[in-house]
Amino acid sequence: MGNGQPFATKDLDLASYLYASGISLLSLDRHDPLNVQFVFDPPGEELIKAFVMSTATANVHALNNARKFLLRRLRDGG
């Protein structure tokens, strides 16, 4: 984080939060089909910290849409 490297997570909730927060999804890493990872542009440390510390805030509608989008990407193989 903050080092310019893409950020990867297999946590759908974190991925939904990042996407709803405007962090660009770069790809899905499917090297391990049982543990697909969402790969994002590097998020700011404050976003990750807020999520981990349970102080994150997000628009509920945007968060729900982000989750649906990511699940669709998983299902469709994209």
CA distances from 38 to 41, 46, 56, 67 (A): 10, 19, 19, 12
58-74 tens-digit pLDDT: 999 999 999 999 999 99
Q: Domain segments of the chain: what residues? A: 7-76
Residue 39's CB: how many other CB atoms inside 10 A?
A: 16
Query: In DSSP terms, which residues pair with 25 in a beta bridge?
Result: 40
Q: Tell me, yes or no, if the pTM score tops 0.85.
A: yes
7-17 tens-digit pLDDT: 999 999 999 99
